[in-house]
Amino acid sequence: MGFTSDVGRRDLIKRSAALGLITVPSIGLVSACASGGDSDGNAVEKGKKSTKNPLAVNESAPLDVVIFDGGLGQQYAKDAEQEYAKAYPKAADKIKHSATQKIQTTLQPRFNGGTPPDLIDNSGAEQMDFSTLVGKEQLTDLTPLLDAPSIDDPSKKVRDTLRPGVVEMGQFSGKPVWIIYYAYTVYGVWHSKSVLRKNDWEYPKTWDEMLALCADAKKKGIAGWTYPGKYPYYLPFSLYPFIAKIGGREVMDSIDNLEPNAWKHPAVKAAFDAYYELYRKGYILKGSPSLSHIEAQTAWNQGKVLFIPNGSWVENESKKTTPDDFEMSVGAPSSLDQGDKMPYGTIWASGSEPFIVPRNAKNPVGGMELLRIMLGKKSSQNFIRQVSSLTSFNGGTDGLSLSSGLTSAQEALTQAGDNVVNPRIQDWYVALQKQQIGIGALGEMMAGRMTPVEAIKKIQKFADDTAKDDSVAKFKHV
Q: Is the pLDDT of residue 382 over 90?
A: yes
Three-state secondary structure call for residue 208: helix
User: Quick one: CA dihedral 276, 280, 285, 287, positive or negative?
Assistant: positive
Interval 406-428 mean pLDDT: 93
Q: What is the spatial distance between Cα 443 and Cα 49, in angstroms, rounded to a whole number?
A: 52
318, 393: one domain: no
Asked if residue 1 is part of any domain, the answer here is no
Which of the 8 DSSP states describes residue 275? Answer: H
246, 119: one domain: no
Which of the 8 DSSP states describes residue 171? Answer: B
Share of the chain above pLDDT 70, in %: 91
pLDDT, tens digit (0-9, with 9 covering 90-100), for 165-203: 899 999 886 779 999 999 999 999 999 999 999 999 999
133, 209: one domain: no
Q: Is the pLDDT of residue 28 over 50?
A: no
245, 115: one domain: no
Q: What's the pTM value of the predicted model, to 2 decimals?
A: 0.80
> Residue 127 — pLDDT band, cuts 50, 70, 90?
very high
Q: Which of 316, 305, 267 is nearest to 283 (CA)?
A: 305
Asked if residue 300 is part of any domain, the answer here is yes
Q: Which of 17, 295, 315, 319 is nearest to 286 (CA)?
A: 295
Q: Is the pLDDT of residue 230 over 80?
A: yes
206, 103: one domain: no
Q: Which amino acid is at 164?
A: P
Phi-psi region of 443 (alpha: psi -120 to 50; beta: other; left: phi over 0): alpha
153, 200: one domain: no
Tell me what pLDDT residue 36 has: 37
Spatial contact of 189 and 234, defined as CB atoms under 8 Å apart: no
Q: Is the pLDDT of residue 19 over 50?
A: no
Tell me what pLDDT residue 41 has: 59
Asked if residue 414 is part of any domain, the answer here is no
Higher pLDDT, 217 or 400: 217
Asked if residue 192 is part of any domain, the answer here is yes
Q: Which range (34-43, 53-62, 319-328, 336-345) has the least confidence? A: 34-43
> Residue 12 — pLDDT band, cuts 50, 70, 90?
very low
Tell me what pLDDT residue 361 has: 97
Q: Which range (22-31, 220-229, 290-299) has the least confidence? A: 22-31
Tell me what pLDDT residue 395 has: 80
Tell me what pLDDT residue 15 has: 27
212, 306: one domain: yes
> Residue 2 — pLDDT band, cuts 50, 70, 90?
very low
Kindly report the average pLDDT of the chain as a whole number.
90
Helices (H), 395-474: 404-416, 425-428, 430-431, 443-446, 452-468
203, 337: one domain: yes
Interval 16-27 mean pLDDT: 29
Q: Which of 102, 157, 92 is nearest to 124 (CA)?
A: 102
Asked if residue 321 is part of any domain, the answer here is yes
Three-state secondary structure call for residue 462: helix
Asked if residue 329 is part of any domain, the answer here is yes
Helices (H) and strands (E) in the chain, counts: 20, 10
User: Quick one: CA dihedral 166, 172, 174, 178, positive or negative?
Assistant: negative
Three-state secondary structure call for residue 449: coil
Q: Which range (9-13, 105-109, 392-396) has the least confidence? A: 9-13
Asked if residue 336 is part of any domain, the answer here is yes
pLDDT, tens digit (0-9, with 9 covering 90-100), for 267-320: 999 999 999 999 999 999 999 999 999 999 999 999 999 999 999 999 989 999
Asked if residue 258 is part of any domain, the answer here is yes
Q: What is the spatial distance between Cα 138 and Cα 132, in angstroms, rounded to a whole number?
A: 8
Q: What are phi and psi of 351, to 5 degrees?
A: -65, 145
94, 159: one domain: yes
Domain region containing 437: 9-25+185-349+423-462
Q: Which of 249, 236, 233 is nearest to 123 (CA)?
A: 233
> Residue 135 — pLDDT band, cuts 50, 70, 90?
confident
134, 253: one domain: no
**Total tally of structural domains belonging to the chain:** 2
Q: Assign residue 211 the CATH number of its domain.
A: 3.40.190.10
344, 216: one domain: yes
379, 258: one domain: no
Let me know if 141 is exposed, middle or buried by CB neighbors in 10 A (0-12, 13-18, 19+). middle
Q: What are phi and psi of 450, to 5 degrees?
A: -155, 140
Interval 13-39 mean pLDDT: 34
